[in-house]
């Protein structure tokens, strides 16, 4: 599990007195950035390889209000990965209260000459695989949409 912490800023509060929905996405995005740095997709990697991570799809569940100055902890888990993608499950907590859940499908991309998917380097893929939850662990997570999957369906 990867952990990211932040405090809710005044400018994130909407006219209802709680964190605006867009900022849940921002906080989740910051947590993804921190996790990517930890596994090796950091600034040095991006500069050296011309590769980065693109978000393909996300789903969010908003469960409780978050107020100004609340301390948030985001716990990121890897549900699955393949040679080019990884599927994240993220829980946003305020103390012990689960306030939001997000799922994200990320793609490894070489940006030049035009963006295209490329395999994740073996050393980083091994880190992702080592952190991937077992099937039972993944099944036990609440609010897992099960609609973001690595497998492809033909149409």
How much of the chain exceeds pLDDT 90, in percent? 86
pLDDT value at residue 38: 96
Confidence of residue 75 (pLDDT cuts 50, 70, 90): very high
Q: pLDDT by residue (tens digit) across 121-142?
A: 999 999 999 999 998 888 888 7
How many residues belong to the chain? 155
CA distance 86 to 39: 12
Q: Kindly indicate the confidence band of residue 49, based on its pLDDT and cuts at 50, 70 and 90.
A: very high
When mean pLDDT is compared across 65-79, 107-121, 133-147, the lowest value belongs to 133-147
82 closest CA partner among 152, 140, 6: 152
Question: In the chain, what are the domain boundaries?
Answer: 2-133
13: DSSP letter: B
In terms of Cβ atoms closer than 10 Å to its own Cβ (0-12, 13-18, 19+), residue 32 is buried
99 and 93 in contact (C-beta within 8 Å)? Answer: yes
Instruction: Tell which residue, 55, 123, 116, has the closest CA to residue 86.
Output: 55
> Mean of the per-residue pLDDT values for the chain?
93
CA 155 to CA 106: how far, in whole Å? 22
**pLDDT score of 111 more than 90:** yes
Q: How far is it, in rounded angstroms, from Cα 51 to Cα 84?
A: 11
Map tokens 């888990």 to a residue: 77
> Terminal CA-to-CA distance of the chain, rounded, Å?
35
Strand stretches in 32-70, DSSP E = 51-62
pLDDT tier for residue 76 given thresholds of 50, 70 and 90: very high
Flag whether pLDDT at 147 surpasses 70: no
Q: What is the pTM of this model?
A: 0.90
pLDDT band at 72 (very low <50, low <70, confident <90, very high): very high
Q: What is the assigned CATH class of domain 2-133? A: alpha beta
């Amino acid at each position: 599990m990867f952990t990211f912490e932040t405090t809710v800023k005044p400018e994130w509060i909407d006219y209802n007195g709680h964190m605006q929905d867009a900022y849940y996405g921002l906080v989740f995005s910051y947590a993804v950035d921190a996790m990517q740095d930890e596994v090796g997709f950091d600034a040095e990697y991006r500069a050296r390889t011309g590769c980065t991570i693109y978000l393909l799809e996300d789903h969010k569940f908003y469960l409780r209000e978050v107020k100004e100055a609340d301390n948030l902890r985001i716990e990121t888990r890897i549900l699955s990965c393949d040679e080019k993608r990884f599927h994240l499950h993220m829980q946003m907590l305020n103390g012990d209260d689960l306030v939001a859940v997000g799922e994200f499908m990320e793609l490894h991309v070489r940006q030049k000459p035009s963006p295209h998917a490329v395999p994740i380097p073996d050393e980083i893929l091994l880190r992702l695989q080592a952190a991937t939850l077992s099937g039972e662990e993944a099944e036990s997570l609440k609010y897992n949409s099960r609609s973001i999957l690595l497998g492809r369906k033909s149409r």
